């Protein structure tokens, strides 16, 4: 099998969601670190800034990661399609998990000779 084309919008939607989840996890780590740093800080306003940055990270990071993942995946898929038209795409070899395994809908299975 040869992968000749990738649906740019479908890849971008999937990547955008995946990167939103990654952004949430990274935002949670930043929030934790900033809350700990704010709690240790003895200066006036340090604790409030740490809490504000922590909450902001949990909200802002998923949005930023999601948008950047969406845009760059959209561009990447479009570039792949352009280059695959010139060089023929990526060759992929697939095989079922077991000899009697069912094939997913839309995938044509041919027996090996």
Determine the 3-state secondary structure of 102 from DSSP: coil
Spatial distance between the Cα atoms of 70 and 13, rounded to a whole number of angstroms: 6
Per residue in 36-56, pLDDT (tens digit) is: 776 676 666 566 666 677 778
Spatial distance between the Cα atoms of 71 and 19, rounded to a whole number of angstroms: 11
Per residue in 23-36, pLDDT (tens digit) is: 999 999 988 887 77
Angle ∠(91,89,96) on CA atoms, nearest 5: 30
**According to the model, what pLDDT value does residue 78 have?**
94
């Amino acid at each position: 099998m040869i992968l000749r084309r990738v649906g740019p919008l479908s890849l971008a939607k999937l990547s955008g969601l995946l990167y939103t989840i990654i952004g949430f996890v990274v935002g949670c780590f930043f929030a934790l670190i900033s809350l700990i740093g704010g709690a240790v800080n003895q200066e006036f306003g340090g604790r409030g800034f740490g809490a504000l940055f922590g909450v902001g990270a949990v909200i802002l990071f998923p949005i930023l990661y999601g948008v950047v993942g969406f845009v760059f995946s959209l561009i990447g898929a479009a570039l792949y399609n352009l280059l695959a038209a010139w060089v023929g795409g990526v060759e992929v070899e697939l095989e079922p998990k077991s000899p009697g395994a069912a094939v997913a809908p839309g995938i044509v299975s041919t027996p090996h000779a």
